[in-house]
Chains A and B, each alone.
Chain A
Amino acid sequence: METDAVFRALADPSRRALLDRLFARNGQTLMELCDGLAMSRQAVSKHLGILEEATLVTAVKRGREKLHYLNPVPIAEIADRWIGKFERARVKDLVAFKTQLESPEGDTE
């Protein structure tokens, strides 16, 4: 089942960092994704391949380049599996509360 591939792909901090970069700016080339990372181009390319296999990243051809897009759908499936309809709003509130408290401006109010 592809769920295993999703969890395996997410288990690696370098791959999560690549997803963070795509979340910040979607549709990047391999070159752009490598920029500023302490990883070889080959390593980034390999990580992207694993993310693509898990459908967490989708590549779209643009001329000779490929643009990489974050695909959050498998993560939505994981959330739907374990977060019930009536819990969803409460879970969201709690996460927002944590984010507010942990942000640098969180204690100014």
Chain B
Amino acid sequence: MSDPAFVYVIYIRTTPQKLWDALTDPEMRPKFWFGRRSESDWKTGSKHTLWAPDGSIDFQGEVLESDPPRKLTYTFETASPTTNVTYLLEPVEDSVRLTVTHDGFPDDSQQRKGVSNGWPAIMSALKSLLETGDPTPQVMP
């Protein structure tokens, strides 16, 4: 595997199970992911789809590894080439250290730039949602 393009870390005061549920629940996803709804059973080898608010497909891919509530890896197939996202959930005291790694980008690709702008807002909203029940408002970068 290539070196990751991005490694993002956030500490969230929650449990790995609650964090896993937030990542995989289709109704929770839009609250921290720019209004996008997800659809998958999140099992290894399954397909997953992210729907844009207007009902079009935002991206699709395959679940490469699913180890609830510890690790989830899936592909983004929509853009070329296919890239991989991995979520690692590690309990630390009363919190969970969430590490998001995104790899497989060619250097200086436009997608790489767009994705790098989106992730910090997604992670900040996810933290706010789990800790306070309210996601922070998001504006697409």
Give bound CA distance, A76 to B139, whole Å.
12
A95 to chain B, nearest CB (A): 13
> Are B9 and A58 in contact, with the CB atoms below 8 A?
yes
The size bracket of the interface on B is: 20 to 34
- 5 pairs of A and B residues whose beta carbons are closest in the complex: A85-B137, A76-B120, A69-B7, A80-B136, A76-B124
The size bracket of the interface on A is: 20 to 34
Chain A residue at smallest Cβ distance from B10 = A73
User: Which residues of B lie under 8 Å from residue A77 when comparing CB positions?
Assistant: 10, 124, 127
Segment 1-41 of B: residues with Cβ below 8 Å from A: 3-11
> Are B11 and A2 in contact, with the CB atoms below 8 A?
yes
Main DSSP-derived SS at the A contact region: mixed
User: Which residues of A lie under 8 Å from residue B125 when comparing CB positions?
Assistant: 80
Q: Is A64 an interface residue (CB 8 A)?
A: no
> Are B3 and A71 in contact, with the CB atoms below 8 A?
no
User: Which residues of A lie under 8 Å from residue B124 when comparing CB positions?
Assistant: 73, 76-77, 80
Give bound CA distance, A26 to B139, whole Å.
25
Give bound CA distance, A72 to B5, whole Å.
13
Q: Is A55 an interface residue (CB 8 A)?
A: yes
Select B120's contact among A26, A75, A88, beta carbons within 8 Å. Answer: A75
